[in-house]
Amino acid sequence: MNGCGRAFVAVLRRDLVIGFRHRSELGNPVVFNIIVALLFIFALGNDPVILGRLAAAIIWVCAVLASTLSLERLFTPDYEDGTLEQLLLSAQPLPLLVAAKILAHWLLCGLPLVVAALLLGVLLYLPQPGYPPLLLTLLLGTPVFSLLGALLAALTVGLRGSGVLLALLILPLYIPVLIFAVAAVSDAVHGLSIAGQIYFLASLFVLALTLLPFATAATLRLRLG
């Protein structure tokens, strides 16, 4: 493995180790996700027909809200202890190191939301044909959340009250993913083709993966340079 590969793995391992050391914070998005879904159940009643019709929308709204909880901690701890400056001064490409941090964030926060969504599908009486597209759209959409969130987290790093500002900035950007993901699950339940929605989400994921690590790295240099 070359120097870039070792640097990527080192940053990824470091963030994963730190994340598992703070297990209480690690579980917050999942717990929040489940609580919000239960609030929907209490508000709408336990009617399987109503909940099944709204299940995809409820699960995705919960995922959108829960994904914003951990974004502030993507760069703030490293900013406060000086690690972020060390990354900027590293001989390795900053976009590569940023990509490692984003991957660690998704593994710690996004992937558990995908697993929790399957449980919520059972609680919300999601029809059986909706599970494969739900899983697929979450696997495509939640990484986009982490990539977009990293860009906005870099933009607001070091600002007082950045958590609220970050949520206000990032939630509107999640809307296209939310619309197409829910439409895909709904169409699958009704036996319609979901190719268009999946192609859109896949294109958005590839575009975000290609551009946003570079944009996030440039934003960090502007903020801390």
Q: Is 98 exposed, middle or buried (0-12, 13-18, 19+ CB in 10 A)?
A: buried
Q: What does the pLDDT look like over 26-54, one tens digit per residue? A: 778 888 888 999 999 999 888 899 999 99
Residue whose entry in the numeric block shows the structure tokens 């159940």: 41
pLDDT at res. 1: 55
User: Cα–Cα distance between 168 and 224 in angstroms, integer?
Assistant: 22
Enumerate the domain spans of the chain.
Answer: 3-224
What is the spatial distance between Cα 32 and Cα 63, in angstroms, rounded to a whole number?
9
What is the rounded distance in angstroms from the CA atom of residue 37 to the CA atom of residue 41?
Answer: 6
Output the CA–CA distances (angstroms, integers) from residue 7 to 4, 88, 94, in the order listed. Answer: 5, 13, 10
Question: Within its chain, how far is the Cα of 84 from the centroid?
Answer: 21
Q: What span, in angstroms and rounded, lies between the C-alpha atoms of 86 and 202?
A: 34
Residue 219 — left, alpha, or beta (φ > 0 → left; ψ -120 to 50 → alpha)?
Answer: alpha
Can you count the helices (H) and strands (E) in the chain? 10, 0
- Indicate the range of 12-16, 35-39, 78-82, 91-95 predicted with least confidence: 78-82
Task: Choose from 24-38, 73-87, 151-165, 205-219 the range with maximum mean pLDDT.
Answer: 205-219
What angle do the packed helices 3-21 and 94-105 form, to 10 degrees?
A: 30
CA 223 from chain center: how many Å? 23
- Give the tens place of pLDDT for each residue, 132-179: 999 999 999 999 999 999 999 998 887 776 677 888 889 899 999 999
**Do the beta carbons of residue 207 and residue 173 sit within 8 Å?**
no
Q: Are 145 and 174 in contact (CB under 8 A)?
A: yes
